[in-house]
A and B are shown apart, each in its own frame.
Chain A
Amino acid sequence: MEQPRSDEDQQLVARTQNGEAAAFDQLVVKYTPRLYGLVYNMTSNHEDTNDLLQDVFSKAYKSIGGFRGKSSFYTWIHSIAVNMTLNFLKKRGRRFHLSLDDMDASVQNDKEFLELTATSSPVREADLSELQRRLNEAMMKLSDEHRAVVTMFHIQGMPHAEISKILRVSEGTVRSRLFYANRQLQNYLEEFRKNPVS
């Protein structure tokens, strides 16, 4: 996923800091889809995602006066979102249910999806909703920290360096978490590979 231009963000942040609330609205509009994807894929629940995202922007608005631009706004707002989501997941524990958004119909035309259906028989045999359910269940079996890394790297397409800045850990830690998470996902999806339709 392409990172937005930081000078544009800087201008909007400066205007917000000067009391122009409309500038912050532009930041909200710009970052909502991106942050929605991040939070949603960490929670696998649409309602929780909505509440969390509102809280994330509310917190960002309250603390934007203290934002000094040491990191980009992109990194800063993602850090807030990840930290708040991780705190929420700790409180939520294991009592949750999947509340999944529908898969967009355009997935049928996606190049990677077409490749997968051509090469992988489980993906070809399972219907889309089944595939979605299996993927989400496998994701939710990961620890919160591993899921965060997987979401940012695989789904959001962020580079390791950016993830390390957001999580405030070393790039080595990001890579090792990713490696471990991939291994676990391979195991969790093994049943799906063997038995695509259950």
Chain B
Amino acid sequence: MNQFNEDEIGKLLRLKKFEQPPPAYFDNFLHEFHRRQRDELLRQPLWRICLQRAQDFMFRLNVRTLASYPVAVTAVLICAAVISLKIYQTPQAEKVATVNRAPVIATTTIQDSNWSLSNPTATRDFGPTLVRTVKDSSHTHRATTTRYVLDSTPVSYEPALRF
């Protein structure tokens, strides 16, 4: 005799669906489920119960969708406030300039013949004598601390006015 074929295996296994729990089992299952849920609740620490209650409350209110627009608007307003505060608190750069910020090239009298078209960034050939950094000029005035210079006032080392 041959082995059970695949069809017979299937039929045999399908007999297993007749294995059933006692008749009242399914009727009592829901009660048992509720009882276990209550037990589980009682066994939980207080903080977890409070957390779950809070979560349930938020979930019922559907806070996520309610809060999306106000939260976004508030975030934008806070960002705007921070940015505007930063802008208004910075010193006005056009009126005051620090001397030791960066080397400034003093261009006083330059011959037109020194212009060249070779390099777009450094088109002028100032020559060694004409280039003077602020650092150098500070040495001439013996300035040890940062000096603030008003733009509108001519600096002392500029060519003096001729009357």
For the complex, would chain A's binding face be called helix, strand, loop or mixed by DSSP majority? helix
Cα-based distance from A125 to B119 in the complex (angstroms): 106
In addition to A101-B19, A112-B15, 10 A-B residue pairs with Cβ atoms within 8 Å of each other are A19-B56, A65-B59, A103-B15, A103-B20, A116-B11, A139-B13, A155-B16, A182-B9, A185-B4, A189-B9
Binding site for A on B (CB under 8 A): 1, 3-6, 8-22, 26, 29-30, 32-33, 36-37, 40, 56, 59-60
Binding site for B on A (CB under 8 A): 18-19, 25, 28-29, 32-33, 36-37, 40-41, 46, 50, 53-54, 57-58, 61, 65, 100-104, 106-107, 110, 112-113, 115-116, 119-121, 123, 131-132, 135-136, 139, 150, 154-157, 182, 185-187, 189-190, 193
With contacts A19-B60, A32-B29 taken as known, whether A154 is within 8 angstroms of B18 at the C-beta atoms is no
- Which residue in B4, B19, B21, B30 is a CB contact (below 8 Å) of A25? B30
How far is the CB of B163 from the nearest CB of chain A, in Å? 87
With contacts A65-B59, A107-B18 taken as known, whether A120 is within 8 angstroms of B33 at the C-beta atoms is no
A132 in contact with B30 (CB, 8 Å)? no
Q: In this complex, what residue of B is CB-closest to A187?
A: B3
Chain B residue numbers with a CB within 8 Å of A113 are 15
Q: In this complex, what residue of B is CB-closest to A134?
A: B12
A41 in contact with B16 (CB, 8 Å)? yes
Chain A residue numbers with a CB within 8 Å of B12 are 116, 123, 131, 135, 189
Cα-based distance from A27 to B56 in the complex (angstroms): 20
With contacts A102-B20, A104-B20, A116-B12 taken as known, whether A28 is within 8 angstroms of B33 at the C-beta atoms is yes
Q: In this complex, what residue of A is CB-closest to B27?
A: A29
Interface centre among B32, B37, B60 (most CB of A within 10 A): B37
